[in-house]
């Protein structure tokens, strides 16, 4: 949470505990938190022990499991369906766990996922340009080209939040950009907002192949909600790409959209396979923690304040979108996807919210 976020709580007379140095990685000093009215404490354990509501970014790590306790409200990204150990720990310790990623508005959108997709999309072109540099194994193409020299060709698969953000940055850098999607409405939107500066194409096998083999940089930003990413790029297609081309697979957190994709980390973000430089970092926004912290706080703050102001379960009873975020309560699973993933009984949300 940013200091401004903290002041949102302290202005309503809530006490906010912040671990000393918690913001340093995001270039936010202790003093700015103090000025916002936060109480700085020496250890994360003290924050866990003395708080009713914990807001953070990552799911609880194994070292944090002993800090979980009955009735604690935990508000963070959880991705429980993919993590049995965290799920079991939250159930065993009877935590009230509300997941950022399952908060859902009536139109089906996921407002707490959007900011991270936008950031990942913007980063994808920045890191893709870096992958294309010769010392990284790239083919030495400058995306914007030069006077009298062609720009690089960028192909973006998926015109959702991440893909559209990538498209904007690629155009801004002067690249020749194509963007593909299976949803014509998404393509129409991109065409409208970018005034035709990118080529929009229907995503089908023929178009994907034709574009990918001609690309300097390919960005994978497809999503089928609740499912693994579709493998749009086979190994044989990667073999036909230009040697030294770059591929940034944003969708790697859903398994990736190429047969050659495997997760990497910020420490070792790239590998070369079939002569193509692959960048497959599962948590891209972590490389820009300052921007990401602001973007996250902008999206989480109103929900966090509602929880603090109204309490649980009243806040959920009044806000349907927030209620959909509830994943575990009193040792029971309250989210369909999580119950299905581990074959656990489901406690209907209505029973909790009306309690």
Ligand X SMILES: NC(=O)c1ccc[n+]([C@@H]2O[C@H](COP(=O)([O-])OP(=O)(O)OC[C@H]3O[C@@H](n4cnc5c(N)ncnc54)[C@H](O)[C@@H]3O)[C@@H](O)[C@H]2O)c1
Residue with the shortest CB distance to ligand X: 160
DSSP label at residue 242: P
121 vs 275: CA distance, rounded Å: 24
Q: How far is the CB of 165 from ligand X (least distance, A)?
A: 8
Residue 183 within binding range of ligand X, rule CB under 6 A: yes
Residue 284 within binding range of ligand X, rule CB under 6 A: yes
Q: How far is the CB of 253 from ligand X (least distance, A)?
A: 5
| Given 2, 87, 102, 117, the residue binding ligand X (CB under 6 A) | 117
| Given 57, 116, 212, 241, the residue binding ligand X (CB under 6 A) | 116
Which range of residues in 24-32, 54-62, 64-72, 225-233 is near ligand X by CB under 6 A? 225-233
Nearest CA to 116 out of 301, 305, 266, 291 is that of 291
Which range of residues in 177-185, 300-308, 311-319, 336-344 is near ligand X by CB under 6 A? 177-185
Q: Give yes or no: 253 in active site.
A: yes
Long-range contacts formed by 93-96: CB under 8 A, 24+ apart? 93/65, 93/68, 93/69, 94/69, 94/70, 94/330, 94/331, 95/68, 95/69, 95/70, 95/71, 95/328, 96/71, 96/72, 96/312, 96/326, 96/328, 96/329, 96/330
Q: How far is the CB of 114 from ligand X (least distance, A)?
A: 6
Sheet holding 217-220, edge to edge: 199-202, 176-181, 153-157, 217-220, 246-249, 276-279, 270-273
Q: Which of 14, 30, 52, 79 does the annotation list as catalytic? A: 79
Pick 74 or 162: Cβ nearer ligand X = 162
Build a one-symbol-per-residue string for 28-67: x at contacts with ligand X by CB under 6 A, - elsewhere.
----------------------------------------
Which tokens sit at 53?
Answer: 């509501």
C-alpha to C-alpha distances, 137 to 130, 273, 275, 332, nearest whole angstrom: 10, 10, 8, 50
C-alpha to C-alpha distances, 239 to 143, 179, 235, 336, nearest whole angstrom: 22, 21, 6, 40
Build a one-symbol-per-residue string for 242-281: x at contacts with ligand X by CB under 6 A, - elsewhere.
--------xxxxx---------------------------
| Given 282, 291, 299, 319, the residue binding ligand X (CB under 6 A) | 282
Residue 224 within binding range of ligand X, rule CB under 6 A: yes
294 vs 292: CA distance, rounded Å: 5
93 vs 332: CA distance, rounded Å: 10
Q: Give yes or no: 249 in active site.
A: no
Residue 333 within binding range of ligand X, rule CB under 6 A: no
* Residue 142, phi then psi, degrees to nearest 5: -90, 125
Residue 120 within binding range of ligand X, rule CB under 6 A: yes
Q: How far is the CB of 143 from ligand X (least distance, A)?
A: 20
Sites of contact with ligand X (CB under 6 A): 113, 116-117, 120, 157-163, 180-183, 186, 203, 221-224, 229-230, 232, 250-254, 282-285
Residues involved in catalysis: 79, 253
């Amino acid at each position: 949470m940013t200091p401004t976020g903290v002041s949102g709580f302290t202005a309503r007379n809530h006490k906010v505990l912040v671990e000393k140095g918690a913001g340093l990685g995001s270039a936010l000093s202790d003093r700015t938190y103090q000025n916002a009215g936060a109480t700085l404490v020496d250890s994360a354990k003290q924050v866990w022990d003395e708080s009713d509501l914990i807001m953070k970014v990552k799911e609880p790590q194994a070292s944090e499991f002993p800090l979980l306790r009955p009735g604690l409200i935990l508000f963070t990204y959880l991705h429980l369906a993919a993590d049995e150990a965290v799920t079991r720990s939250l159930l065993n310790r009877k935590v009230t766990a509300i997941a950022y990623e399952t908060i859902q508005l009536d139109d089906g959108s996921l407002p707490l996922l959007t900011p991270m997709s936008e950031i990942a999309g913007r980063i994808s072109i920045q890191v893709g340009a870096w992958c294309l540099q010769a010392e990284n194994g790239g083919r030495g193409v400058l995306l914007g080209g030069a006077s009298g020299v062609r720009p690089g060709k960028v192909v973006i698969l998926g015109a959702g939040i991440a893909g559209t953000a990538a498209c904007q940055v690629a155009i801004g850098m002067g690249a020749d950009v194509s963007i593909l999607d299976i949803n014509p409405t998404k393509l129409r939107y991109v065409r409208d907002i970018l005034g035709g500066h990118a080529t929009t194409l229907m995503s089908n096998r023929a178009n994907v192949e034709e574009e990918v083999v001609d690309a300097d940089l390919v960005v994978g930003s497809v999503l089928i909600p609740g499912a693994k990413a579709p493998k749009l790029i086979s190994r044989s297609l990667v073999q036909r790409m230009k040697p030294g081309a770059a591929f940034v697979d944003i969708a790697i957190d859903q398994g990736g959209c190429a047969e050659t994709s495997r997760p990497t980390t910020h420490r070792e973000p790239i590998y070369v396979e079939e002569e193509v430089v692959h960048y497959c970092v599962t948590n891209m926004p972590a490389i820009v923690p300052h921007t990401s912290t602001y973007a996250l706080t902008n999206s989480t703050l109103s929900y966090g304040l509602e929880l603090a102001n109204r309490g649980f379960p009243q806040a959920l009873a009044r806000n349907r979108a927030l209620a959909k975020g509830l994943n575990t309560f009193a040792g029971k699973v309250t989210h369909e996807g999580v119950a299905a993933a581990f074959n656990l009984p489901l406690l209907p949300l209505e029973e909790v919210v009306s309690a």
